Amino acid sequence: MNNEQIESLTTNYDSRIYIAGHMGMVGSAVWRSLEAEGYTNLIGKTSRQLDLRDQRLVMDFISSYRPDIIIDAAAKVGGILANDQNPYPFLMENLQIQNNLIDAAHKYDVAKFIFLGSSCIYPKLASQPLKEEYLLTGSLEPTNQWYAIAKIAGVKACEAIRKQYGKDFVSLMPTNLYGPNDNFDLQSSHVLPAMIRKFHEAKENNHAPVTLWGSGTPMREFLHVDDLAQAVVFAVEHVLPEYLYNVGTGSDVTIKALAETIQAIVGHRGEIIWDSSKPDGTPRKLMDSSKMQALGWEPLNSLEEGIRQTYKWYLEYKD
């Protein structure tokens, strides 16, 4: 498959594009990217303005605004601990949000729907790198299975509408994301932003030692959120031939190498202590994003440069 085989749409910079979750890390990046491309009719509502868990409110909103495109970047998200301790809201609230949006988009003939999910939809023990066809071939990671099941339901709902009605509903599954507007709360953040904060605070504390979980040997893939946003713009401007695409860099690093890179960028000169009593998690989690890249999208930010940008953002906005 190559980029000559996909249909490019006539770009209409006036298209009404509703970005659900436009205040979050992903939604705000999508907003910035679309705005930079010249799109002038972007629609966003905060959770206070529109509770996406309320079906009637969502139906009324879509029927009033009649967007041409909906990008679903809204979700209840959190780290392993939050997922494990709150299984019901992570399942139910995510189902409510996406089901309301997908159903309203279908009922009011929204031309294009882009559903954003997560690599956690794939089985815990699937072969590496993770391919789209591995979906539903094995058991999920137990700690975040509730979130994963909700996202799988969203993928399948979009696939069902695509299959039955021929509508342009597509799902993009990003790998581990980081960048501006990330969550740096140590209780609920993911590994990369947590490391940025830990190394920065340790530097400020006379380069105190930093303790990190596990052995540092697991391998993880990281994608700058602006690269995901460009994948979303690509999906806005093309009719993608399949219902599901992975979005990642295709390369990964050890947690130890990640820590050393962040330490160098932050300027921390203290010791790194690896607490091997804490779990490592899955040994490796790499996605195969060759289908998306074959269509013509590719990530542009190197991990080192992306971390530099993110640290700069953190310094500016952390207070």
User: Annotated binding site for NADP(+), which residues?
Assistant: 21-27, 116-119, 151, 174-177, 190
Q: What are the backbone dihedrals phi and psi of residue 178, each rounded to the nearest 5 degrees, phi first?
A: -155, 165
Known catalytic membership, residue 147? yes
Annotated catalytic residue within 18, 39, 122, 147:
147
Angle between helix axes 55-65 and 87-107 (nearest 10 degrees) is 30
C-beta of residue 102 within 8 angstroms of C-beta of residue 113:
yes
Whether 32 contacts 22, CB under 8 Å: no
Contact 72, 101 (CB under 8 A): yes
Which residue positions form the known binding site?
A: 21-27, 116-119, 151, 174-177, 190, 198, 213, 220, 280
Instruction: Judge residue 206's burial from the number of C-beta atoms within 10 Å of its C-beta, 0-12 exposed, 13-18 middle, 19 or more buried.
Output: exposed
**Rounded CA separation 227/216 (Å):** 26
Residue 109, C-beta contacts closer than 8 angstroms, at least 6 positions apart? none
Query: Tokens at residue 185, please?
Result: 């709360």
Dihedral, CA of residue 151, residue 152, residue 155 and residue 158, to nearest 10 = -100
Known catalytic residues?
A: 147
